[in-house]
Amino acid sequence: MNNENIKILSTEILSDNWYTLNKITFEYHKKDGTVETQNREAYDRGNGATILLYNKENQTVILTRQFRLPTYLNGNASGMLIETCAGLLDKDNPETAIKRETEEETGYKIKDVQKVFEAYMSPGSVTEILYFFVAEYSKDMKVSEGGGHHEEQENIEVLELPFKNALGMIKTGEIKDGKTIMLLQYAQINGLVNL
């Protein structure tokens, strides 16, 4: 960390039950020369990766659906969210991690992935940076039913959808997940799947 306008004064762990929630006290040197002491909370869950699997010939994409408690608590009646496959890096590099997560969650064993960008998804409170990938898939890459790991309490439904329908689900509100919207729009802008 090399921002000369920031000086960390203290870090207090508020919770480390699932991931780590820290309370950070720091000095912020403002442009007018004054120094302000601020407190913020930052949730550290590690970094992650996400991928959009697409099939040019069939004009389809692979997405997942699973229960997400925070969305349920914020008014999503079922708590179910349609998303691109994603997971934490778990000390792997992003490419290795997304290949692992793709096979675990979707059942597709992919070899070639293309990193398209990286982004902070909620920089006001979460430290995570997310690495975004795309990859072509075909039926012969299917090695299992996917669904995630039982021991990680994952219960993931694999969806194969026409690309056009997936794009339409953004407008209807059936897809509300930020990373999924970003990757579907990336695919549309870059012509990965013909409409």
The answer to whether 36 is annotated as binding is no
Give the whole-angstrom CA distance, residue 16 versus residue 191. Answer: 43
Query: For residue 109, which amino acid is it?
Result: K
The answer to whether 154 is annotated as binding is yes
The answer to whether 101 is annotated as binding is yes
Tally of CB atoms within 10 A around 193: 23
Q: CA geometry: angle at 123 spanning 7 and 129, to 5°?
A: 100
Query: For residue 193, which amino acid is it?
Result: V
Listed residue (73, 19, 56) closest to 41, CA to CA: 19
Q: How many CA atoms lie within 13 A of 103 on its CB side?
A: 12
The answer to whether 41 is annotated as binding is no
Residues at the annotated binding site?
A: 86, 101, 105, 154
Residues at the annotated binding site for Mg(2+)?
A: 86, 101, 105, 154
